[in-house]
């Protein structure tokens, strides 16, 4: 398929996942609309283009990992899991219900999810551990000798929020990742400019996340995270980087795809019938 | 009944941390999934063998204990069995959320080795002395908490932790000190099964960690006075060996608990919760009485915090006076 064709296909899928995530949110009556919609494009590109994974075998040891460190962006990810076949589509209707696998933050009880989210600032550390593990050969060689720096068995992608980068452990993980030269690790910061109760700049201005990651020894790039072509190109670029982890600072729009909510702090939104209707109209296939 | 593994002569032969490291090296030589992780913490004299023999499988993350715990969960996701090592207080204080969320909740096969636990090691002062580890960790679901009392049980606890599929806390004392060896080499260590080191029906002393040795000393002294004290090594704080604790309550009618952690929520707390609901008998708790630690020599601290054999003996005498006749 041509790149243009691929981009068009992923755009259509991202729109579909946004639409379906609205129904997921409706199950709780509220949802993490802003962060789900801002991250929908690169979640789609990762899951349906870049990552090596097998929904029929969620525990495949060489699968690429996707760690949703901003664990509240779960509804669009649940829609993606159902689309890929990790969970039945019917199960999306159990979101937030008692005993459901689909908890209100990503949960590792759900097939396709490796690390539970909700407690911010932890996911990148988990991703670093997994990425180190991808470089250790689980073979008999290990019983007596070194085998480091052979091919990594898999890649690890980690999605963080820009507000989440306030958390100190993100930077412990960032330092450790470059120390271990984890070129199989990509962090994607969903820079939608809002955190739970307001603008990231007003709450705690982190100044430049790009410069910070660079200072921590990463390759870092800023992109328009809602531009599918740029997302795809950047996810191709990460494979070319050697000896350094890669940070993609994805400038996104909170609530992207829901015009009346875009660029507002639509972090956690009550999903009324009217809002659902409005959203579905805006996201018509 | 007294364990056949109780050593007749309790000599001081090996450091508890060295015994753990020796076990870890042994495990790593057999199982390529064993990984040893540190947060700028010494691997000990024996532990230095590990990086030489298994250079791939030693990871030091620097002074970043929270990251240490979460990244170990990531290593577990990649198929490995990580053992993390750092000061007890920092694993707990900097890693509580990580232990709870990334390890216990996500049911990761991670083994968290709490080093320099308890109040007795005074070398680094109150900033480094955890008194609340047992209380805090007991309240987290899905954690096995092991607290071995000597080098032999430390080695066996390490093997048991590796065999167990799931999160384990392994609580070890000051890594630089040597404590008496209580067990013979053929000890069979089973998670959740306490060990009777001295038999008796007059009173039961339930101890954990390095103070088991002191409890044993007290029981021998009491024996000379005609009092038969049952000494149980509660090497597993969670799951507690309820059956044996309740049997001790029934058969002796008086219990003393002994630990180097806060009596609130620690072993004393656990035993109090159990017997008060299922078989109430008089109880005295020897341990840290809700105070912070402080600098000093181990001998000074033990005395100051009322953890020495005379204080254990006093607790026994007091609890026996409270026994129902």
CATH level 3 topology of B195-321: Rossmann fold (3.40.50)
Flag whether residue B85 sits within 8 Å of chain A, measured between CB atoms: no
Determine the Cα–Cα distance for residues A10 and A31; give it in Å rounded to an integer.
23
Confidence at residue A148, expressed as pLDDT on a 0 to 100 scale: 54
Determine the Cα–Cα distance for residues B162 and B23; give it in Å rounded to an integer.
10
Instruction: Say if strands A269-270 and A30-31 run parallel, antiparallel, or are unpaired.
Output: antiparallel
From the list A134, A132, A126, the residue with the least C-alpha distance to A67 is A126
Structural contact between residues B196 and B252, judged by C-beta atoms closer than 8 angstroms: no
CATH level 3 topology of B16-171: Rossmann fold (3.40.50)
Determine the Cα–Cα distance for residues A256 and A15; give it in Å rounded to an integer.
10
Could you state, in order of their start, the residue ranges of all structural domains in chain B?
Answer: 16-171, 195-321
Of residues B30, B71, B101, nearest to A129 (C-beta): B71
Determine the Cα–Cα distance for residues B129 and A168; give it in Å rounded to an integer.
24
DSSP 8-state symbol, B253: S
Q: Which residues of B243-255 are buried (b: 16+ CB within 10 A; e: fewer)?
A: ebbbebbeebbbb
Helix (H) or strand (E) holding A228, with range, is helix A228-237
pLDDT above 70 (res B237): yes
Q: B195-321: same fold as B16-171?
A: yes
What is the value of pTM for the model shown? 0.96
ipTM confidence: 0.95
pLDDT digits 0-9 by tens, A30-39: 999 999 999 9
Structural contact between residues A96 and A105, judged by C-beta atoms closer than 8 angstroms: no
| Strand intervals (E) in chain B | 34-38, 58-60, 81-87, 111-115, 144-146, 168-171, 195-198, 203-207, 229-233, 236-238, 255-262, 283-288
Determine the Cα–Cα distance for residues B100 and A268; give it in Å rounded to an integer.
25
pLDDT digits 0-9 by tens, B15-68: 999 999 999 999 999 999 999 999 999 988 888 899 889 988 999 999 999 999
From the list A31, A22, A148, A117, the residue with the least C-alpha distance to A79 is A22
Hey, of B52, B64, B71, which one would you mutate to test binding to chain A, going by the most A CBs within 10 A of its CB?
B71
How many contacts (CB atoms, under 8 Å) link A and B? 120
B147 burial type by CB count under 10 A (0-12 exposed, 13-18 middle, 19+ buried): buried
Determine the Cα–Cα distance for residues B84 and B92; give it in Å rounded to an integer.
12
* Other C-beta atoms lying within 10 Å of the C-beta of residue A260: 11
Structural contact between residues B113 and B83, judged by C-beta atoms closer than 8 angstroms: yes
B53 burial type by CB count under 10 A (0-12 exposed, 13-18 middle, 19+ buried): middle
pLDDT above 70 (res B272): yes
pLDDT above 80 (res A178): yes
Structural contact between residues A164 and A191, judged by C-beta atoms closer than 8 angstroms: no
Hey, of A126, A131, A144, A152, which one would you mutate to test binding to chain B, going by the most B CBs within 10 A of its CB?
A126
Higher pLDDT, B270 or B46: B270
pLDDT above 80 (res A142): no
CATH level 3 topology of A3-282: Rossmann fold (3.40.50)
Of residues A134, A145, A172, nearest to B67 (C-beta): A172
Determine the Cα–Cα distance for residues B169 and B148; give it in Å rounded to an integer.
11
pLDDT above 90 (res A138): no
Hey, of A129, A136, A146, A184, which one would you mutate to test binding to chain B, going by the most B CBs within 10 A of its CB?
A129
Flag whether residue B110 sits within 8 Å of chain A, measured between CB atoms: no
């Amino acid at each position: 398929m041509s790149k243009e064709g691929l981009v068009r296909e992923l755009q259509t899928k991202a729109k579909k996942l946004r639409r379906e995530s609205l129904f997921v949110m409706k199950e709780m009556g509220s949802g993490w609309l802003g962060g789900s919609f801002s991250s929908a494009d690169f979640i789609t590109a990762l899951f349906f283009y870049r990552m090596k994974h097998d929904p029929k075998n969620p525990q495949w040891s060489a699968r690429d990992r996707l760690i949703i460190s901003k664990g509240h962006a779960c509804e669009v990810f649940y829609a993606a899991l159902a689309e890929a076949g990790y969970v039945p589509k019917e199960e999306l209707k159990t979101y937030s219900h008692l005993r459901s696998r689909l908890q209100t933050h990503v949960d590792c009880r759900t097939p396709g999810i490796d690390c539970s989210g909700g407690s911010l600032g932890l996911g990148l550390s988990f991703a670093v551990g997994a990425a180190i593990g991808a470089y250790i050969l689980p073979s008999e060689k290990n019983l007596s000798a070194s085998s480091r720096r052979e091919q990594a068995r898999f890649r690890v992608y980690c999605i963080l929020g820009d507000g989440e980068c306030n958390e100190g452990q993100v930077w412990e993980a960032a330092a450790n990742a470059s120390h271990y030269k984890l070129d199989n690790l990509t962090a994607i910061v969903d820079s939608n400019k809002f955190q739970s109760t307001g603008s990231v700049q007003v709450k705690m201005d982190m100044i430049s996340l790009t410069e910070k990651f660079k200072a921590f020894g990463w390759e870092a790039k800023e992109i328009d995270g809602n531009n599918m072509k740029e997302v795809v190109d950047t996810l191709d670029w990460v494979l070319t980087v050697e000896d350094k982890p890669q940070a993609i600072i994805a400038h996104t729009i909170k609530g992207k795809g829901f015009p009346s909510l875009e660029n507002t702090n639509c972090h956690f939104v009550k999903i009324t019938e009217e809002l659902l209707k409005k959203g579905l109209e805006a996201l018509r296939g | 009944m007294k364990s056949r593994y109780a050593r007749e002569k309790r000599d001081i032969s090996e450091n508890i941390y060295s015994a753990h490291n020796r076990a870890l090296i042994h495990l790593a030589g057999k199982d390529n999934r064993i990984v040893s992780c540190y947060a700028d913490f010494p691997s000990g004299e024996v532990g230095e063998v590990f990086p030489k023999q298994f250079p791939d499988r030693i990871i030091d993350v620097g002074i970043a204990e929270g990251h240490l715990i979460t990244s170990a969960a990531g290593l577990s996701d990649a198929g490995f069995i990580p053992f993390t090592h750092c000061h007890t207080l920092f694993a707990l204080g900097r890693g509580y959320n990580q232990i709870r969320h990334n390890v216990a909740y996500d049911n990761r096969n991670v083994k968290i080795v709490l080093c320099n636990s308890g109040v007795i090691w005074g070398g680094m002062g109150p900033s480094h002395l955890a008194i609340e580890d047992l209380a805090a960790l007991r309240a987290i679901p899905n954690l096995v908490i092991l607290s071995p009392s000597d080098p032999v049980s430390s080695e066996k606890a390490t093997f048991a932790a590796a065999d167990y599929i799931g999160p384990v806390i392994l609580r070890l004392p000051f890594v630089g000190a040597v404590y008496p060896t209580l067990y013979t080499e053929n000890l069979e260590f089973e998670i959740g099964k306490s060990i009777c080191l001295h038999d008796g029906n007059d009173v039961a002393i339930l101890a954990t960690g390095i103070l088991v040795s002191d409890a044993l000393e007290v029981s021998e002294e009491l024996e000379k006075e005609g009092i038969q004290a049952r000494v149980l090594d509660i090497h597993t704080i969670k799951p507690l060996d309820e059956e044996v604790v309740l049997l001790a309550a029934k058969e002796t009618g008086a219990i003393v608990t002994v630990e180097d952690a806060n009596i609130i929520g620690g072993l004393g707390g656990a035993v109090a919760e159990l017997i008060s609901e299922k078989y109430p008998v008089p109880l005295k708790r020897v341990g840290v009485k809700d105070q912070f630690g402080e600098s000093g020599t181990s001998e000074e601290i033990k005395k100051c915090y009322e953890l020495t054999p005379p204080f254990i003996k006093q607790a026994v005498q007091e609890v026996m006076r409270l026994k129902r006749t």
